[in-house]
Structure 1
Amino acid sequence: MSEQTQILNSIPVDPLTGSISVPIYQTSTFVQEAPGVHKGYDYARSNNPTRKVLEDIIAKLENGTNGYAFASGLAAIDAVVKLLKSGDDIIAVDDIYGGAFRLFTHVYEKFGISINYVDSTNAANIANAVTDKTALIWIESPTNPTLKISDIRAIAKTAKAHNILLCVDNTFASPVSQKPIDLGADIVVHSATKYISGHSDIIAGLVVTATEELGAKIKFIQNASGAILGPFDSWLAIRGIETLSLRIRQHAENAQQIAEYLIEEKLIKNVYYPGLPSHHNHEIAKSQQKYFGGVIAFDLVIDDKALASKIVSSTKLFKLAESLGGVKSLCCLPCEMTHKSIPAEKRYQSGVTDSLIRLSVGLEDAEDLIADLKQAFASAVHENITETANVL
């Protein structure tokens, strides 16, 4: 069965009315037949039929046992960290999403959870960082924004050997491209704001577990903390999933063409995209991803924030905005936007320079997007001719 057929087949027809679209149960509570006797729903924070459909769909797509929907990607991350206790240690990917860094470092460290940031592109670095206090390994693959790839299978072996939880942020790949649970992960998280919904119109997060036992723990945290996804946003996420496979395929096709153009652009120093043979872990990406994704990052031959800012402000089709994964192309300057909360020294250590630009490649025609980048580069060079003359 194809991925697209599997997705559509996982979305149920409403058994009460035959509605082809999942109903939106916009209610806070449910009438009970007698005290404690109901149809599986008593209060919408604990459970909601629309949200339950979304949670079941993502569990199926990730080949997990249980799925849970949260009010944001960070709420989903927060729920996973709440599995830990004071004194535990997290080994986290060094090129980490700025919001996750902020949550780990500025919220949970003060509760006695320590964070050890490691370059996970070499699985041995993870193994060497394990201590008797390590309770969770946290990786993104690909990472945000430098598209680093980690060997999930190898890291999973280390995690299992030491009885450590492995959580993979699968936002950039999506379950269409990569299934971390099949590769050995215990937990998968998504910012469903991105590719899952796909239309830049909701904020949402998802957690999928590999076992019923872990699922019960996340469910308890979801209900106890209350950061649940509302029914209308759950419905929008379901609607987005209906075209997920088709969109991911086109995002990746467009991104591959743009990445191949960018490596020939004289103004650019490095292009980060797993689909390029020059990518450090290209072969690992090929072994665990069906598609290479729709995000590209690159930095300039001159590490000049002003020049990079001019480029992202000069595009026409690529809209200057945070976030990614929508049908419309976006661009951003991470050092001033998505990763501003990370100290400059740490940003540079993980490869996020002041001139690093991130592209979220949408569904416009690839040739039009390339033309847009060319005119933006030309405009920026024209205004900064003195600084760029020596390299062009």
Structure 2
Amino acid sequence: MPYGFETLAIHAGQEPDPRTGAVIPPIFQTSTYAQDAVGAPRLGYEYSRSSNPTRDSLQECLAAIEGGRRGLAFASGLAAEDTLIRTVCVPGDHVIIPNDAYGGTFRLFSKVAERWGLAWTAADVSNVDDVRAKLTSRTRMIWIETPTNPLLNIADIAALAHVARDANTLLVVDNTFASPYLQQPLALGADVVVHSTTKYVGGHSDVVGGALVLNDPTLADSLQFHQNAMGAVNGPFDAWLTLRGIKTLAVRMERHCDNAEKVAEFLIGHPKVKQVLYPGLAEHPGHEVAAKQMRRFGGMIAFRTGDPAEAERVCNSTKVFTLAESLGGVESLIEHPGRMTHLSVAGSALEVPADLVRLSVGIETIDDLIGDLKDALS
């Protein structure tokens, strides 16, 4: 019978160790493996850049919780993105990216891939017609985030999957903000799912990693070749930490969502907050699409103060919310995207509002979180 998400998160790729019976699979902290004869590695393991049992366990689990056939783990989300770009694209190809993409993704396309010969165009991924209008004969990928980082816009994955198929291109979905628990892009027609596993998948702000999950076996084989050839893999301990985080992903995401909904309600009623960006709000322009394709609406919130100096003052004033980049950990974080995570888009068409504050709502006591924001806003 098919297993539920929570069961897969705890057990997929993580059978008890056959030699000792250890319930938690061991960390294979090794760089190389003894071979039985020249050219005869045991179980195919010869060098840990190419394959490692701990990373294999993680990759199997990632595929299972995303509903995919193959998963590949990397040293970071950007390493996963770079491997995908260089596997799929050649110089002269074109990619569509969100017009409010994560700053690191924008930097990768604009400062690295563009020099390599890859063209890109920013589109409003919440507008299917705008994405369709940006297609060219050389478009190789439609690359979306949903919700987007940091403006929490929502893209209709199923609708864009139809656009991608009609254009004979790939739909790539960065599912980092939603996590595999809240959203399953492959089931909606996406070709490849990207994660920074540093965020909700790992969930404890103690390990950096990335992942790709997909169904196409030919593309998966090619990505695995490039994973080995380019070498941006995570180490065994990092893979093990990420696996440990996945086990509690479902329960953590429920608490993140519970807290975020209450924080959003508080912010809406505050006189110093001019706009709250959260797809769980009925007035959010992407609310209906998000409700259709997400289990719940996530733990990320952005809001605008109307004044850049006030936005920075609020970020500098919290005590429970930690002023830090990144997101998705059990602890609540606050940041100023324009000066922090999205500084790389300053001066570009993707520049974010200077009065924007981004919250990664953690799993602390909700009264403490709301009290902290109330004090900071006052």
Q: How many residues align?
A: 373
User: Which position in structure 2 is the counterpart of 1:8?
Assistant: 10
The partner residue of 2:303 within 282, 298, 304 is 298
Deviations 1:136-175 (CA, angstroms, capped at 9, x unpaired): 1100001101111000000000111121011100001111
Structure 2 CA distance, aligned partners of 1:345 and 1:140? Answer: 19
- Pairing 1:113–2:92 present: no
User: Which position in structure 1 is the counterpart of 2:68?
Assistant: 64
The partner residue of 1:92 within 85, 88, 97 is 97
Deviations 1:204-246 (CA, angstroms, capped at 9, x unpaired): 0011112111110110110000000000000000000010000
Structure 1 CA distance, aligned partners of 2:338 and 2:169? Answer: 32
Structure 1 CA distance, aligned partners of 2:171 and 2:215? Answer: 10
User: Which position in structure 2 is the counterpart of 1:363?
Assistant: 363
Deviations 1:354-388 (CA, angstroms, capped at 9, x unpaired): 1100000001011210110000011xxxxxxxxxx
SS state of the match for residue 344, structure 1?
Answer: coil
Structure 1 CA distance, aligned partners of 2:19 and 2:178? Answer: 35
Task: Output aligned runs, 1:104-183, within 5 Å.
Answer: 104-183=109-188
Residue identity matched to 2:82: D
Q: CA deviation at 1:12?
A: 2.0
Q: CA deviation at 1:345?
A: 4.8
Task: Output aligned runs, 1:16-95, within 5 Å.
Answer: 16-39=19-42, 40-82=44-86, 83-95=88-100
Runs of 4+ in 1 over 3 A off after TM superposition: none
Residue identity matched to 1:307: E
SS state of the match for residue 33, structure 1?
Answer: strand
SS state of the match for residue 271, structure 1?
Answer: strand
Structure 2 CA distance, aligned partners of 1:97 and 1:63? Answer: 25
Deviations 1:260-291 (CA, angstroms, capped at 9, x unpaired): 11111111111111111011110000000001
Contact 1:64 1:211 in 2 (8 A): no
Task: Output aligned runs, 1:200-239, within 5 Å.
Answer: 200-239=205-244
Contact 1:25 1:50 in 2 (8 A): yes
User: Which position in structure 2 is the counterpart of 1:382?
Assistant: none
User: Which position in structure 2 is the counterpart of 1:255?
Assistant: 260
Once superposed, what is the RMSD of the aligned Cα atoms?
A: 1.0
Q: CA deviation at 1:343?
A: 2.5
The partner residue of 1:334 within 327, 334, 337 is 337
Unaligned 5+ runs, structure 2:
none
What's the TM-score once normalised by structure 1's chain length?
0.94
Q: CA deviation at 1:3?
A: 2.3
Contact 1:185 1:210 in 2 (8 A): no
- Percent identity (aligned): 48
Structure 1 CA distance, aligned partners of 2:9 and 2:218? Answer: 26
SS state of the match for residue 266, structure 2?
Answer: helix
Contact 1:347 1:353 in 2 (8 A): no
SS state of the match for residue 189, structure 1?
Answer: strand
User: Which position in structure 2 is the counterpart of 1:274?
Assistant: 279
